[in-house]
Every structure is written in structure tokens, then in C-alpha cells.
Structure 1
Amino acid sequence: MNVLSIQTGKPEPTPAKSGLTGHFKKPVTGPVQIGPLGLSGDTICDLDNHGGVDQAVYLFGEPDRVWWQTELGRELPAGFFGENLLISDLLSADLAVGDKLTIGNVMLEITAPRIPCATYAAHIGDPQAIKQFYRAARPGAYARVLQTVQITAGQPVEFTSYNGDRILIIESTRHYLRHFDDPDFLARVLTVPAHHKLRALAQERLSKHAPETGPTSV
């Protein structure tokens, strides 16, 4: 695999309720600094739902982009899905929480799937866009940055599979759509380096279902 292109976004108007978005990302040339909160020059407008250390970088694979291009019947340039890195030969359906991608001295760790929002639907221009995104099971992936340095388009990407319980990101999406109602899945979440919001939710819900223990008799 290699990095086909690197994208960052500036604030732009959107018909979605947020008003402004950094979703419309464009390729940049030359080295780009990448840190714990993402790429230098990239903009996150909705900080409550996007960005942060566990959503620092959004990855999308070229096979998924090409599939979507056929599905939507139009040209989809790099950055169309709001991705920071477009990577050759990367199939997001195969990614699991904890998988690592190494690009030079940069190391990224997969944390979660992308969840489509109103800005995405407005960008596509189809009221069924969000449902279509879920059905496609090609969501791209968010990652945290474990090692920081500059990256450049064209660099090779080394993939390292997580060596624990493999929770595929599309599996996480399915449980999201079921409102995370499966305690067995939530227990698994706590064994992997998942997004901190999902780990917090899992801890909260499992603690509510934990059996209460009374005083021990002597």
C-alpha cells in the first residue's frame, strides 16, 4: 500500500445545520505535519462530533473510492468523502480496531468507523445517502496518531494487524445501528483500543448491569 494523496479542508458553508464544515477537503502537495490532533492546516468545525485524538485522521481506501464512483455514477476526486489520507489497496471493511498503519515514522491506530452525518448527506445531495452509506459497508476509518512527523504523498504504508480480539469496524457500525444493546459486544470493546467515547459508553452500560453484591456474612 501507499499514500495516494493527502487532503486538508478549510471552513466552507454547508446547507446542513452546522452551517460551516471542513468536510470539503482538497489535496495538498509537499510534506504535511501530522500530530495528535491530525494534519496541520486541516479544519474541524464541529468539535463536539468530529476531531480529537481518537478521530485525528480519517482514512479512505482507493478500492472503496472506485466502488463508490461506480455506485454513484460520477467522478469522485480525492477528498470527496472528507478523507485526510487516500490509501491504495486499503479495504475499510477488513480493518479492525487496533490495526496499525505505519507511514515512514508516522504510526496510526484504527479506532472507529466513520458515521455519516447530515453534512455528508447534504454533500451527496440524496435523502437516502446515509442509509446507502451504511448498506455499502465501506465506511473508511478513523485513527489516532501514535507517532508524529511529516508525511508526503507517495510514501509506502505498512499494515500491522491487531493481535487481540479483532472487532471489525463494520461490526462496530452494526452495533451502533442497534444502539449498542449487546453487553457481550460492549465487554469486548473494553479489551481493545477503541474510541474513548465508545469505551466510556461500554463502561457505563456494563456497570448498570453488573450484579450488586451485598455484605459478606461471617
Structure 2
Amino acid sequence: MDARVRSVNVGRPRAGIEPRGRDTAIDKRPVATVEVRDPGPRKGGLGSGVVGDDVVSRKHHGGSRQAVYAVAREELDWWGGELGRDLADGGFGENLTTEGLDVDGALIGERWSVGSAVLEVAGPRIPCATFAAWMGERGWVRRFTERGRTGAYLAVVEPGTITGGDAVEVVSRPTHGITVPDAFRAFTGDLEQARRVLDAHVLGDVDHADLERRLARRTPPS
């Protein structure tokens, strides 16, 4: 199967999901087409890179390096088998549900041509309490972390329009070999991967600094 966008998904704030009772926009629903653009910095920017989509918790979500979130339909189907229930497109709160594309095999920094936009793979999704509440599965954060296939956050290099059914073309791949799961392991306790990712300087400034702090906390004093 050729790599393509199966659906484009947006969410509006709603209550009754977030564990502390606050609004969240994790409930993404398919729409016909979306416009994507660089939303600017996490603090003071536009939040989502998808016009019409919302990011409520901007302390940890949104901004240029988390402008668009992509998940493979194949990964949703794998989890559907594990959980014994169907997961709809948008079921992980993703903006792009893809088919025929190994999202979790992507290299940090590789670029995709999608519709009239160009997107760059920026990093992994880190599971949080809101995601766990949305899924409603016992031990969800642990299970998702053990699986290690998170989908990918994307930056918008060139703004444009994306429609369900659009082809996804990988137009460039860096040579460092660091995949999205490699970066995820770096953020979730693998010290060797953390050093490798930091040495390669593949992350944005905010994520690089965050990973440096995580590594410093986990590294015993000499």
C-alpha cells in the first residue's frame, strides 16, 4: 500500500475526560481537510499547528515542535487487538491518521511532503495522565511506554492544505539513524540512548534542554 493520509482530525475543548476536571481537546474527530501552519512557540503561540484544532494544556503540548501529531492506522489496529475494542481514526488524539507509512520508523528530522505542506519529524509523544484517562485502560501509561511506538510529533516546514487520501512522500532523511522510538527511550530512562540523542543534537532547543535535565537527574555523581 502506498503511504497516505487516511484521515485528518481536529479537537475542540470538552470537559469530562481530564482527570482533574479541566477541559481537554484530546478527542479528535475526522474532518474533510485541514490547513497546517507553524503555530510559533509553546508559550504565547497559537497552540496547534492545525487550524481549527485546540491545545488546552500548553505547558506540555503544542508549539512549533508539536504542531501536528501523526499515528499509523496499523498501530491503532494493533492496540485494538490488544484491548479488544475498535479504535477510531483520531483515537490517540492524533491529527493525521496514516496508512502504509511506518511512522514509528521515521528518523528525527526527516521530512514528509503531505498535500501542499512539508512536515518534519520532531520527536515522540510522551504519554500523560490525560491520555490515560481518555483511553480508560488500567496501567495505560506503562503499557504504552513498554510498547514504545508513540507516533510522531511534526513541525510545519511549509504551510499548506492536507486532505484525507493525500499521499505522504518522504522527501529527505538525515544520516544520524535516530528514530522516533530511540528518542522516546531516551526520554523514558534509557541513559545510553539519552546520551546518543543529545550528542546528535537532533531535538529542538526546548526538548534538548529537557532531556539534558532528565539525564542529569538519572546520572549518579562521579
TM-score range normalised by the length of the shorter chain:
0.7 to 0.9
Match of 2:109 among 93, 98, 101: 98
Normalising by the residue count of structure 2, what TM-score does the alignment of the two structures yield?
A: 0.84
Q: Measure how far apart 1:165 and its partner are.
A: 0.6
Kindly indicate whether the alpha-carbon contact (under 8 Å) linking 1:180 and 1:186 is maintained by their aligned counterparts in 2.
Answer: no
- Structure 2 match to 1:149: 160
Are the structure 2 counterparts of residues 206 and 67 from structure 1 closer, same or farther at C-alpha, using a change threshold of 3 Å?
A: closer
Letter in 1 for 2:79: W
Query: What CA deviation, in whole Å up to 9, does each residue of 1:33-70 have, x standing for no partner?
Result: 11112111000000010000000000011111111111
1:50 equivalenced with 2:53 (yes/no): no
Are the structure 2 counterparts of residues 69 and 182 from structure 1 closer, same or farther at C-alpha, using a change threshold of 3 Å?
A: closer
Match of 2:28 among 25, 31, 49: 25
- Structure 2 match to 1:132: 143
More displaced 10-residue stretch of structure 1: 65-74 or 9-18:
9-18
Structure 2 CA distance, aligned partners of 1:15 and 1:21?
Answer: 6
Structure 1 CA distance, aligned partners of 2:70 and 2:12?
Answer: 18
1:10 equivalenced with 2:16 (yes/no): no
Tell me how large the CA RMSD over aligned residues is: 2.3
Structure 1 CA distance, aligned partners of 2:127 and 2:213?
Answer: 24
1:61-140 superposed matches below 5 A: 61-140=72-151
Identical columns (%)? 32
Q: Measure how far apart 1:123 and its partner are.
A: 1.2
Letter in 1 for 2:100: D
- Matched positions, count: 205
Structure 1 CA distance, aligned partners of 2:214 and 2:25?
Answer: 33
Are the structure 2 counterparts of residues 205 and 123 from structure 1 closer, same or farther at C-alpha, using a change threshold of 3 Å?
A: closer
Kindly indicate whether the alpha-carbon contact (under 8 Å) linking 1:56 and 1:142 is maintained by their aligned counterparts in 2.
Answer: yes
Consecutive unaligned residues of structure 1, counting only runs of 5 or more, are: 208-218
Match of 2:51 among 34, 40, 58: 40
Q: Measure how far apart 1:199 and its partner are.
A: 2.1
Kindly indicate whether the alpha-carbon contact (under 8 Å) linking 1:189 and 1:202 is maintained by their aligned counterparts in 2.
Answer: no
Letter in 2 for 1:35: R
Q: Measure how far apart 1:104 and its partner are.
A: 2.8
Q: Measure how far apart 1:105 and its partner are.
A: 2.3
1:177 equivalenced with 2:188 (yes/no): yes
More displaced 10-residue stretch of structure 1: 58-67 or 15-24:
15-24
Larger Rg computed on CA atoms: 1
Kindly indicate whether the alpha-carbon contact (under 8 Å) linking 1:60 and 1:90 is maintained by their aligned counterparts in 2.
Answer: no
Are the structure 2 counterparts of residues 23 and 202 from structure 1 closer, same or farther at C-alpha, using a change threshold of 3 Å?
A: closer
Kindly indicate whether the alpha-carbon contact (under 8 Å) linking 1:56 and 1:143 is maintained by their aligned counterparts in 2.
Answer: yes
Structure 2 CA distance, aligned partners of 1:139 and 1:45?
Answer: 20
Runs of 4+ in 1 over 4 A off after TM superposition: 179-183, 202-207
Q: Measure how far apart 1:133 and its partner are.
A: 0.3
Letter in 2 for 1:139: T
Q: Measure how far apart 1:114 and its partner are.
A: 0.7
Q: Measure how far apart 1:179 and its partner are.
A: 7.2
Are the structure 2 counterparts of residues 27 and 203 from structure 1 closer, same or farther at C-alpha, using a change threshold of 3 Å?
A: same
Structure 2 CA distance, aligned partners of 1:89 and 1:104?
Answer: 16
The alignment partner of 2:132 has SS state of: helix
